Structure 1
Amino acid sequence: MNTVNGVLPLSTELNRRLNTLIPGGAHTYAKGEDQYPEGLAPVITHGHGGHVWDVDGNRYIEYGAGMRSVSLGHAHPAVLAAVRRELERGAGFVRPSIIEAEAADLFLDTVPTAEMVKFAKNGSDVTTAAVRLARAATGRPLVAFCGDQPFFSTDDWFIGTTPMNAGIPDPVTELSVRFPYGDLAATEELLRSHEGRVACLVLEPATLTEPPDGYLAGLRALADRHGCVLIFDEMITCFRWSESGAQGLYGVTPDLSTFGKALGNGFAVSALAGRRELMEQGGLHSDRERTFLLSTTHGAETHSLAAAMAVLRTYRAEGITARLHTLGERLATGVSEVAAAMGVADHVMVRGRASNLVFATLDERLRPSQEYRTLFLRQLVLGGVLGPSFVVSSALTEDDIDRTIDVVGRACAVYRKALDVADPTPWMGGRPVAPVLRRYS
């Protein structure tokens, strides 16, 4: 790891070019230049394992790789071997490939709570397909989603409820309602107030905190009692909580669940899985009116399915989930210790499951602060750590973790100086980083 000198001329110029060519300068809003301190938004040339390199020649220890999708590290040899093998055999055909059956078999063996699976390319598509299927199965219009969780889909039923709802008609947004995580009584009250109109409950089964005792089982009972479909969004929890996701860890089976991110280790693949009775409504063996479930040109791209199979096998053979937890625990402990040593333990805090850590940056009045986040991120980047979160990959080493903790310690020393004068501005290097979902640029 090298220390960045604070000047990224090639990245700065490329960011200007990206913004003239691509709306937002990136293909994911969370990767935008506005998410990083001014002048310190590196443009990446390549990655290997747990490290990436930018166009200015800097190397970084990387966290949250590929929006949490690259959990085995970049260019993982088993994944690359599987992909290369399939590329030489063709990427897509006019009829299903044998690998579609093989990938489905392996997935359902790994996630035994599901009876059928259909693959696609991104999480938004499969989660929206689950919502559509729930509406078709129940004949009900409303979608109830967990309002405490940040993201479910790029489609109108969800984005219409965010600050970036331009272009989405109000009548569409009015068909989505929120329920709070962990509060069964409030959720039941919501279902009663919309009796017979809620098609589904959509949520991530676990987030930054563990589910309260009995919560997921209680939701299962509520869904059954009120006749709605229980949908688990396992984009993040799949593999990071257990090889079979949060549903496997906590022993609660949803009607439908959606998977992605770590499933392909950076290759584009996602999955909708669930009960046969529901899934078949998008198939050929149901006597009910057909549901247009998922029909995508590239959903069964052979090399992406090969990547998914390699990921599933690697997780099982090498105990990857356990390794993610071990690395995350080492990082969380170290960050907490150096924050305490610098007197900022109440302001720089690590949160979440060890395999899926984020950090909070609070101001002198203990309020979440984009300005203090900017200060903190700036010190990380200058220290050679690219960390919008502290989500680990299994390719990181203990030495990477220890180096990160050292950089965090130096960042906390600067943080203390800013708190002492109640003003982070001198250490921000420019404008603050911005919330991803906001109404105006």
Structure 2
Amino acid sequence: MTRDFSRSLRAQARLHELVPGGAHTYARGSDQYPERMAPVIARGSGARVEDLDGNVFVEFGMGLRSVTLGHGFAPVVDAVCRAVRDGVSFTRPSIWELRAAERFLEQVPGADMVKFAKNGSDVTTAAVRLARAATGRPLVAVCRTQPFFSTADWFIGSTAMPHGVLPAHREETVGFDYNDLDSLRALLDEHPGRVACVVMEPGSAAAEPDPGFLEGVRRLADDDGFVLVFDEIICGMRWSRHGAQHVYGVRPDLSCWGKALGNGFPVAALAGRRELMELGGLSTEAERVFLVSTTNGAETGGLAAYLAVDDEYARRDVVGEMVERGSRLAAAVRQEVAEAGLGEHLVLHGRPASMVFATLDAQGRPCQAMRTLFLQELLRHGVLAQSFVVSAAHTDDDLDLAAGAVRHALPVYARALEQGGVDGLLDGRPVAPALRPLAAPRRLG
């Protein structure tokens, strides 16, 4: 199926002239999509989006996984409109800050205090600063088999894109592996008394925690004295309204939240034990920590969005709906893949509400060119999907359309495997990792 992307291409070219990278998030960049098939979105409704050329797509991974209730979800939009009519930002705390804090601490029973911000990077970095102040230690241990924790130097210095980060900061972050307690123990032994905190997602996009793994990390935190920080930016509101920490029954010292808290509206949260959080407050005799202090962190629109989202989660089983839809999609896609005999080359991973796919070449290796080919064929058949992460807004028709798009994509995928590459099948260059040291010459239209 041929689709016209000419208006999107012109808009994308103009974006490249005005915005470094042509987008405000690396994951949204045109280099993450097939060349000449990177739609610029005009509007969305439910689980569908329309681009500048009038192409309509079923979208997955909506809003980089932040949209669980659907685009333009009226109860949230209406709540935000009502709140901002009475003012957005004041010289003193608004009543929305009290309402949101009370609700959030009811939602996350293991937390004593909360501070709101606008994005996940701010709150994870605040957690690191608290941990360093509380422990007097310099190092941050991150789960290196998980993709992203912050835009701050303490994390970016450990990635494939550290240019501009001071060498000293690059040495501040060390890594261990998910589901591998021995790798964390070895890290602690290598840096005795120097790890301030462990930062990790309690759940992984690719795997569930092995029995005893999270409990083991908790015990190591208690024994060694580091602060355990759970990154719930994705897990929170997808694994459970109460977070993955509730699902797995392990309480962190601090937890960081974002994305689905506002159904796409900007709101994030840092929550945790009082003795840690108060280091950034006024009820401490210790030297104070500059925690999170932002002009727009508690503007009324974001907090109203959070409260409206939580109202909807209380009214209906949003997580259960996502699990049901994700399970249905997984079954349909796996059936199509199995019938095509490609089960060793297109593999689904993750919980039903947060499902990703792996595209493997003829030797069973992850392959960006094969990924690009798969994305290309999905786009041609009406699906915009860097993942198969569902929302509660996906309908049976949406899921059927997605399964049909996979069915149409698989013969092309099979031909690429048979001929040993994508030559003649892929229209343009392959996608590339979002975090990489060199841009590499490529057409950016």
Q: Please, what TM-score do these two structures have when normalized by structure 1?
A: 0.98
Name the structure 2 match of 1:40.
37
Whether 2:260 is the aligned partner of 1:252: answer: no
Q: Quick one: distance in 1 between partners of 2:160 and 2:180?
A: 24
Which residue of structure 2 aligns with residue 395 of structure 1?
393
Q: Which amino acid aligns with 1:94?
A: T
Distance 1:219 1:260 in 2: 23
By how many angstroms is 1:163 displaced? 1.1
- Distance in 2 separating the partners of 1:403 and 1:7: 19
2:396 paired with 1:425: no
CA contact (8 A) 1:123 1:153 kept: yes
Asked if 1:239 is matched to 2:241, the reply is no
Deviation at 1:149, TM superposition (A): 0.6
CA distance in 1, matches of 2:55, 2:328: 25
2:14 corresponds to which of 12, 17, 41: 17
1:262-301 equivalences in 2 (<5 Å): 262-301=260-299
Q: Using the alignment, how far apart are the partners of 1:219 and 1:21 within structure 2? A: 45
**Equivalent of residue 85 in structure 1, options 70, 82, 85:** 82
Residue 411 of structure 2 corresponds to residue 413 of structure 1: yes
Q: Does the 8 Å CA contact 1:7/1:39 hold for their aligned counterparts?
A: no
CA distance, structure 2, for counterparts of residue 364 and residue 7 of structure 1: 31
Q: CA deviation at 1:403?
A: 1.1
Q: Deviations over 1:32-83 (max 9, x none)?
A: 0011101100000010110000000011000001100011110111101110
Structure 2 residue aligned with 1:218: 216
Structure 2 residue aligned with 1:75, among 72, 75, 78? Answer: 72
Q: Once the two structures are aligned, what percentage of the paired residues are identical?
A: 54
Q: Which residue of 2 aligns with 1:64?
A: 61
How many angstroms apart in 2 are the aligned matches of 1:423 and 1:282? 55
User: Could you tell me how far apart the structure 2 residues matched to 1:33 and 1:285 are?
Assistant: 48
Q: Is the 8 A contact 1:24 1:32 kept in 2?
A: yes
Q: Deviation digits for residues 137-171 of structure 1, max 9, x if unmatched?
A: 00100111111111000000000111111101111
Quick check: 2:3–2:55 contact (8 Å CA) kept in 1?
no
Note the residue ranges of structure 1 that are not aligned, 5 or more in a row.
Answer: none
1:144 and 2:141 correspond: yes
Q: Which residue of 1 aligns with 2:303?
A: 305
Give distance in 1, aligned partners of 2:342 and 2:436: 29
Q: Secondary structure at 1:298's aligned position in 2?
A: coil
Residue 208 of structure 2 aligns to which amino acid in structure 1? E
Q: Could you tell me how far 1:189 is from its partner in structure 2?
A: 1.8
Shift, 1:253, TM fit: 0.3
Q: Is the partner of 1:231 in helix, strand or coil? A: strand
**8 Å contact kept, 2:140–2:198:** yes
Residue number in structure 1 paired with 2:442: none
CA distance in 1, matches of 2:182, 2:342: 37
Shift of 1:6: 3.4
1:181 counterpart SS class: coil
Q: Secondary structure at the match of 1:240?
A: coil
Take 1:285 and 1:172, find their aligned partners in 2: how far apart are those partners? 31
- For these two proteins, the number of residue pairs brought into alignment is 438
Is 2:160 aligned against 1:163? Answer: yes
Whole-angstrom distance in 1 between the partners of 2:194 and 2:348: 39
Secondary structure of the equivalent of 1:427? coil
Q: What pairs up with 1:52-201 in 2 under 5 angstroms?
A: 52-201=49-198
Shift of 1:185: 1.7
SS of the residue 1:418 aligns to: helix
**Which residue, 373, 376, 393 being the options, matches 1:375?**
373
Q: Deviations over 1:375-430 (max 9, x none)?
A: 10000001010001100011110111011001101101111111111121211101
Counterpart pick for 1:351 among 344, 349, 352: 349
Note if 1:320 corresponds to 2:281: no
CA deviation map 1:244-303 (0-9, x unaligned): 110011110000000000001111100000001100000000111100000000000101
Distance 2:349 2:218 in 1: 27
Per the TM alignment, residue 183 of structure 1 is displaced from its structure 2 partner at its CA by 1.0
Deviates more, 1:5-14 or 1:138-147: 5-14
CA distance in 2, matches of 1:62, 1:318: 23
Q: Which amino acid aligns with 2:26?
A: Y
SS in 2 for 1:53: strand
* CA distance in structure 2 between the aligned counterparts of 1:88 and 1:187, rounded to whole angstroms: 50
**Partner secondary structure for residue 87 of structure 1:** helix
Name the residue aligned to 2:443: none
Counterpart-to-counterpart distance in 2, 1:6 and 1:413: 19
Contact 1:332–1:354 (8 Å) recurs in 2: yes
Amino acid at match of 1:96: P
1:51 partner amino acid: R
SS at match of 2:124: helix
Q: How far apart in 1 are the matches of 2:113 and 2:345?
A: 46
Establish whether residue 50 from structure 1 lines up as the match of residue 47 from structure 2: yes
**What's the counterpart of residue 331 of structure 2?**
333
* Aligned partners of 1:328 and 1:354 also within 8 Å: yes
CA distance in 2, matches of 1:422, 1:7: 29
Task: Tell me how far apart the structure 1 counterparts of residues 348 and 109 of structure 2 sit (CA, whole Å).
Answer: 33
Q: CA deviation at 1:350?
A: 1.0
Match of 2:4 in 1: 7
- Over the residues paired in the alignment, what is the CA RMSD in angstroms? 0.8
Opposite residue 380 of structure 1, the aligned amino acid is L
Q: Separation in 1 of the partners of 2:193 and 2:349?
A: 38
**What does the per-residue CA deviation read over 1:108-163, in whole Å, with 9 as the maximum and x for residues that have no partner?**
11111111000000000000000000000001001111111110000000001111
User: What amino acid does structure 1 have at the position aligned with 2:300?
Assistant: T
CA positional deviation for 1:313: 1.4
Query: Conserved in 2, the CA contact under 8 Å of 1:335 and 1:408?
Result: yes
Could you tell me whether the CA contact under 8 Å between 1:371 and 1:425 is conserved in 2?
A: no
For residue 424 of structure 2, give the secondary structure of its aligned residue in structure 1.
helix
Q: Once the 2 structures are TM-superposed, how far is the Cα of residue 184 of structure 1 from its aligned partner?
A: 1.0
The two structures have a TM-score, normalised by structure 2, of 0.98
